[in-house]
Chain A
Amino acid sequence: VAVRLRPLNRNEQEDAWKVQENTLFLLDEMTGKVSDTVFQYDNTYGPETLTKDVYAQSAKAVLDSTLMGLHGTIFAYGQTSSGKTHTMTGTDADPGIIPLIVSELFERTETDKDRDYSVRCSYLEIYNEELKDLLGDGSPHLRQSLDEGVHVAGALELEVHSPKEVIEALQRGEVKRAIGATNMNVRSSRSHCVFRLFVSSTKAVQDGKTNRRRRGVSDVTVRRSVLTLVDLAGSERQSKSGAMGKRLREGSCINRSLLTLGQCIKALVEGGKRHVPYRDSKLTRLLQPALGGNR
């Protein structure tokens, strides 16, 4: 778990936290000095940290695992206006985790002489517990197939061959995405966005004399993995407080997906056979393979 602090905006007067190594210190409201409240994480990043450094220290390893055939998930979690979209998507000048990871993915698949790769991508939005395909026009549903486990049926999976194609797909999805504006930040997400890269590879057969790959000729073992990049909605709330009639057991008026995500992570961290409520929200159902395998 990594925590990134964004720079203060003009509405914010003074720092509330101090970052030192992997620790966050809460500053005393009155004195501005370090208080006794301390939180430790795997990584912490102060306002001066660039996204490319966050990527190098916290995200790159996930890409490494994906190329080894393991599923990986990166998600940004935080209050509205805390900079999740900036971290995940970024700008042309300061690209986010997604463009950085995509760029390196293709760089490495191109230079890997031992394996042949194919990459597909999908872009989904979860809004009010409904799935929306941001790349296609279908109506996606979460389903379980005998071979693949949990998957999204009816969502377009676009075959991509370069970072440019991925970015174009992302931009296409952005047009369809619900973007909200708040007074804390003009650009703020109100929905969860799930961008998935399906990476499959087979061992390339080498030509002994030229040491060149003979494309299209490979053994039958296919290594498949999914890299899921999630830009979560603001952690404060999604729906109206008075929204009646949602499912009672999950706490509907409270960000259901995020609440369930928190419960799933808590249950996983606590270990044992504590019930992990993946099925309680679309988001956790979709992320189940990444969060806890087939538990």
Chain B
Amino acid sequence: MEEPKEYMRLRGVFDTFQRVQSLVLTADPPETPYTSKYQARELLGQMVAETQALTLTMGTGAGAEGEGEGTPDTTVLKDFVAYLHHLIGVLAYETEETSAAVTHLSQSLAWLGPRLQVDTAALGHPPADADADAESEADSLPVALVSEALSPGVSLALAQLLVRSLNQMGVVWTNRQDPTRGMHYLKAAEALYRTHVMPHIEALKSGALGVRTVPPCGTEPVPTDTDTGSEGADTPAGSDCQDGWWLPPICPQWIESLHTYTVFFLAQVYSALGEASLAAEYCRTTLDRQSAQGGVDVSEWVSNAVDLVAYYEGQGQLGSVRHLLSQARAMLDSPSASLDTDAEDHKELIAKLNVAEGNLYSGVIAASRNTLTRWEDACHEARAAGEAVPVRPRAFVSMDVDVAPDPAETREGTDADADADTDADTADVALPPMDTDTSDGAEDEMPLLSRSQAYELFNKAYAHYQQALDVFKLEGFVTGHVAVLFRVCDAYLALSSFEPQASMQARLHRRRELLLSRVLPQLNPQHYLVLMREMHFRVAHAQMDLFDIKQERVQSLCEAIEMAANPEALIAQLPQGEREAYSKALKVGLMSLQSLRLFHKTYEQEVRRRLQRDDASYSHGLPEGVDDVIELLDGPEDVAGYLQGLFDLGRVQFRLPVIDSDRRIVFLEDAVQCFARVVKYGGQVTTQAMAQQRNLCKEMLRLLTAKVHQLKRIRMQSRSLSLVAAGTEEEGGTVAQDGDVDVSGSEPVTNADSVADSPETDTSAHGDSGLDAQD
């Protein structure tokens, strides 16, 4: 029987389709990268014109119903035209013609959407306030169940095409700086997968849908989106011209990969929208899907996993961190992973992985310390309220298991467990159970570690950090190297809270200090000013922690010095050991002061640079109308940092065990100025922590002003007595020096309240509030 004329024309169209596929897969030379794609676009355009002409012919022909709509033949042809528009849209985008891409993809969606009862028209016009409630908006997208008019196989085939167009539109709009609109398309694709694809995947794989399936192409899970995939497809004449005759055979793995694309794009879109938790959730789903599907670029996967780990670590979700790191190591160790282990990029990736693993171990120590701190706080509050002290959290005696234990089992514990926090604990590493649940965003509560467990974890962390430092050398990776040092310092700090001996604690803090203070002089402030700022701050805090320990040892001595009329004599009478302890406490206190001042200096240098940049004639000092350098800092975050430094400066100077009364008064007056500046400028920072610090500073101002007043009176009286004594000696008599001195501290405060409470407190006359002439 002679083939109908329309079918012959259609055969011609389909033959062109084969040429298109060949062109799309052609790798053009770099000099002319788009030549084949342009040719493919041109052919696709011709195919659209020819198929549309056929649609008209067939729509008005013998088989037509009404105006040509609804007949199987014309509907199928229109499906085909929609597909062609999709391909043109993708090619237009690949050849940098975004507006043409949008036009063609919209045409594809406009036909395919209604075919599957999806209102794609609404997607292109998100409401004006879409940003405000983007997530809920996307959830209510009108995606219907499979149309009963379509066979499941055709519905599935059309759904996968629609997902491809929706994905592409999501990418296009995100690239056009409209991630909200992009998100709407991608959420529709996600919903479509759930409603139209997921229920039929198993049936598809088993062949129950009657749809031709093909195995995945080699190890590549996803062909390029412009792959027409028509290999082996029937020509019109060879088929019964059923719905979807033109569709390529379906690869189940490909369909799954299309959804992986959707979640991958959603991760990026939510990231662009600032929705970190949603971005992380989709990121993890992508990684899990890639891992399950196989055939991924191992380096890329591990790199993404390490990035995601940083997010989970920040959220305290250490179970998730452990799960991802474990997967990453398994991927790297896989025999199928083809890696260039000598490549610089690979070495850096492994170094990053080592840092992440070090952070996990260090994070467990810190989290355990936080559990202990919370328990101690709860005990304190209970005691204050006269209530029963809560039960001590159970010690964690976990094996380094790969399977997540039953949460109920790990949480309940027994009385025996509660008493198990001894050094006799098992030496097995205590780690959080691996969290494989992508939706749980709760911070992991960490059971208590024993001292030996903490040390063991620390050693593991330290080994990983050392391996990272072997790659991230100071010269070449300055910020990367210092970032690892910061992590080592954090690990030392976390470990110190498990150390009962003060001398050992001091040793750990000293290491924190040395790690950074050795590097600091090597950095050029021209390039690393902000990095140096953080280093000075960390060094200062290590020194302050040391100061706390050393000062505690000489606490009673300090109190005696405070009360003594002749502190020098008191010191001279001390045994050698105590005198040395006192000197060390004073020395480390002074060192922390120096570090805090250097910390402040970095802000001042930055301000000076900015002033010089904006005004070439600027030389030094505060510009007219500016009372304090704080007023010139770059935003509330800088103000908060600077004020924290002032608070610390005030605190250290207040506690500094200085013998000389003149120096003591100078330090205390400086502390007063520090606290006054925090009170004055702390209002610019709206954090709760700053509000608390500010209140504390007001309180300190009252106390210190009184103390300065008292010390000055003592000094004055002491000098008067000395003068009298000198006069009396001349007359041959002696006078007791400390008989009449008031050291009760009960002298009424005259002006401290007004200083503390007044935000207008003028500190401009003080030297610390200005800019030095020198850098």
A255 contacts across to B, CB distance below 8 A: 175
**A146 CB-CB contact with B under 8 Å:** yes
A212 to B478, CA, bound (A): 44
**A234 CB-CB contact with B under 8 Å:** yes
A245 contacts across to B, CB distance below 8 A: 290, 296-297, 300-301
Which residues of A229-271 have CB atoms within 8 Å of chain B's CB atoms? 234, 236-237, 240-242, 244-255, 262, 271
A262 contacts across to B, CB distance below 8 A: 177
Closest Cβ–Cβ distance, residue B443 to chain A (whole Å)? 21
A271 touches B635 (CB 8 A): yes
Across the two chains, which residue of chain A brings its CB closest to B31?
A: A179
**A190 CB-CB contact with B under 8 Å:** yes
**A141 CB-CB contact with B under 8 Å:** yes
A56 to B458, CA, bound (A): 61
B271 contacts across to A, CB distance below 8 A: 248-251
A239 to B297, CA, bound (A): 17
Count of A residues near B, CB < 8 Å? 47
A271 to B638, CA, bound (A): 11
Which residues of B308-364 have CB atoms within 8 Å of chain A's CB atoms? 308, 344
Closest Cβ–Cβ distance, residue A200 to chain B (whole Å)? 14
B96 touches A234 (CB 8 A): yes
Which residues of B635-649 have CB atoms within 8 Å of chain A's CB atoms? 635-638
A150 to B95, CA, bound (A): 34
Closest Cβ–Cβ distance, residue B666 to chain A (whole Å)? 33
Across the two chains, which residue of chain B brings its CB closest to A238?
A: B96
Closest Cβ–Cβ distance, residue B469 to chain A (whole Å)? 15
A141 touches B635 (CB 8 A): no
A205 to B264, CA, bound (A): 63
A80 touches B264 (CB 8 A): no
**B744 CB-CB contact with A under 8 Å:** no
A289 to B530, CA, bound (A): 13
A145 touches B268 (CB 8 A): no
Contact of A272 among B34, B38, B224, B637 (CB under 8 A): B637
A271 contacts across to B, CB distance below 8 A: 634-635
**A153 CB-CB contact with B under 8 Å:** yes
**A144 CB-CB contact with B under 8 Å:** yes
Which residues of B451-490 have CB atoms within 8 Å of chain A's CB atoms? 474-480
B527 touches A148 (CB 8 A): yes
**B288 CB-CB contact with A under 8 Å:** no
**B265 CB-CB contact with A under 8 Å:** yes
**B303 CB-CB contact with A under 8 Å:** yes
B272 contacts across to A, CB distance below 8 A: 251
Closest Cβ–Cβ distance, residue B678 to chain A (whole Å)? 19
A272 contacts across to B, CB distance below 8 A: 634-637
B630 contacts across to A, CB distance below 8 A: none
A242 touches B34 (CB 8 A): no
Q: Which one of B56-64, B498-506, B518-526 is at the A interface? A: B518-526
Which residues of B75-104 have CB atoms within 8 Å of chain A's CB atoms? 90, 93-98
**B529 CB-CB contact with A under 8 Å:** yes
A254 touches B174 (CB 8 A): yes
B283 touches A248 (CB 8 A): yes
A272 to B355, CA, bound (A): 29
A180 touches B34 (CB 8 A): yes
Closest Cβ–Cβ distance, residue B324 to chain A (whole Å)? 12
A146 touches B524 (CB 8 A): yes
**A37 CB-CB contact with B under 8 Å:** no
A183 to B265, CA, bound (A): 29
Given A271-B634, A272-B634, the answer on whether A181 and B224 have CB atoms closer than 8 Å is: no
Given A180-B30, A190-B33, A271-B635, the answer on whether A247 and B300 have CB atoms closer than 8 Å is: yes
Which residues of B107-136 have CB atoms within 8 Å of chain A's CB atoms? none
**A209 CB-CB contact with B under 8 Å:** no
B267 contacts across to A, CB distance below 8 A: 248-249
**B279 CB-CB contact with A under 8 Å:** yes
**B230 CB-CB contact with A under 8 Å:** no
Closest Cβ–Cβ distance, residue A74 to chain B (whole Å)? 18
**A219 CB-CB contact with B under 8 Å:** no
**B32 CB-CB contact with A under 8 Å:** yes
Given A237-B96, A289-B527, the answer on whether A246 and B300 have CB atoms closer than 8 Å is: yes
**A164 CB-CB contact with B under 8 Å:** no
A242 touches B224 (CB 8 A): yes
Which residues of B239-287 have CB atoms within 8 Å of chain A's CB atoms? 260-261, 264-265, 267-268, 271-272, 279, 283, 286-287
Interface string of A114-157 (1 = CB under 8 A from B): 00000000000000000000000000010111111110010000
B31 touches A180 (CB 8 A): yes
**B307 CB-CB contact with A under 8 Å:** yes
B171 contacts across to A, CB distance below 8 A: 241, 253-254
**A273 CB-CB contact with B under 8 Å:** yes
Across the two chains, which residue of chain B brings its CB closest to A289?
A: B527
**B618 CB-CB contact with A under 8 Å:** no
A80 to B95, CA, bound (A): 10
Interface string of B572-589 (1 = CB under 8 A from A): 000000000000000000
B609 contacts across to A, CB distance below 8 A: 293
**A111 CB-CB contact with B under 8 Å:** no
* 6 CB-based A-B contacts, threshold 8 Å: A144-B476, A236-B175, A245-B290, A248-B283, A249-B283, A273-B634
- 6 smallest CB-CB distances across A and B, nearest first, come from A149-B527, A272-B635, A273-B637, A245-B300, A144-B478, A236-B96
Q: Could you list which residues of chain A lie within 8 angstroms of chain B, going by C-beta atoms? A: 70, 79-80, 141, 143-150, 153, 178-184, 190, 234, 236-237, 240-242, 244-255, 262, 271-273, 289, 293-295
Known A241-B225, A248-B267; 15 more pairs at CB < 8 Å: A146-B474, A146-B475, A149-B478, A149-B527, A179-B31, A236-B175, A242-B224, A244-B264, A245-B297, A247-B304, A249-B307, A251-B272, A272-B637, A294-B529, A295-B530
